[in-house]
Amino acid sequence: MDRFVFLTLDGLSRGAVYAAFALALVLIWRAARVVNFAQGAMAVAAAYVAYSVASTTGSYWLGFVVALAAGLLLGAIVDRAVMRYVDHASPLNPVIVALGLVLLIQAVLGMIYGSEFRPAEAPFSRGAFTVGGLAVLSPYDLFVFGAVAVVVCALAWIFARTAVGLRMRAAAFAPEVSRLLGVNVGGMLTLGWALASGVGALAAMLVIPTELGLHPHAMDLVFVSAFTAAVVGGLDSPPGAVVGGLIVGLLLSYVSGYAGSDLTPLAVLVLLLAVLLVRPGGLFAPVAARRV
């Protein structure tokens, strides 16, 4: 029983990060109908910026803020400088461009910072509180939950309650009509990329201290898990991304804890098949969606 509680809490804290990263994927998918394979590399780039700032100024929080800003900026740049010019006639074209960006960003990071692991600082202790001899969550885990919760709520608020959010939804849902109604569709798209990239940067800042450290490839595996999470939840659904992230986090934790870590990829495949064969559009897909 102790082990079950331990694995559950460990899986949830990891799942929260997957949820944030999956949310970033969902944001871009909803805005631009693109699965952004460069999300991981872009987020790592932002985390490296934070590393540079934090190591020169000595302030984690300054680096943290700069990372979020760098994430927003990088998203806008990728949209304005590259994605805008991609022929979207085939949905594969942006995917290939994104993969090209992955290679480019990782290579540039490798040139600037080398391929060593850099220590990633955690702003709070990662030592767990013990309750009755059982290690439960650490202050850092609470910080992760809090940060992800704030982001989820903020995004929900932006999309549901603000004029900008309404315009963004309109621009994504019906670009032509929105343009006729005076919405700056291109600008909304850029804003969508920036927001998503900012959320991705946040996820990277949260997860890298719990992994091997800062490295050009630090988010590769997280990307795979987060993409799985987004697909399980349904790429059109932000709540789906959050639930999907938590499910994937728990699954990985239980399988490595009870069965062996080499079986985790198989478990992920089984989860995907089990969910998608019943609901081909993910858990939170609108029921009435009939594709033509």
What token pair was written down for 73?
Answer: 């900026």
Give CA–CA dist 124/116, Å, rounded: 24
Give CA–CA dist 226/224, Å, rounded: 6
Would you give the binding string for another protein spanning residues 261-280, x where CB under 8 A is met? xxxxxx-xx--xx--xx--x
- Specify the residue, 38 or 66, whose C-beta has the smaller distance to another protein: 38
156-195 positions binding another protein, by CB under 8 A: none
Nearest distance, CB of residue 289 and another protein, angstroms: 10
- Is there binding between residue 227 and another protein (CB under 8 A)? yes
CB atoms closer than 10 angstroms to residue 239: 16
- Is there binding between residue 239 and another protein (CB under 8 A)? no
Strand partners, 81: none
DSSP classification of residue 127: P
Question: Which position among 1, 58, 130, 288 is part of the footprint of another protein (CB under 8 A)?
Answer: 130
φ, ψ of residue 118 in degrees (nearest 5): -100, 145
Containing 147, the helix (H) or strand (E) segment is helix 139-161
Q: Are 283 and 232 in contact (CB under 8 A)?
A: yes
Query: Using CB under 8 A, which of the segments 4-12, 152-160, 177-185, 198-206 binds another protein?
Result: 4-12
- Is there binding between residue 211 and another protein (CB under 8 A)? yes
Nearest distance, CB of residue 83 and another protein, angstroms: 10
Query: Using CB under 8 A, which of the segments 69-77, 112-120, 162-170, 187-195 binds another protein?
Result: 112-120
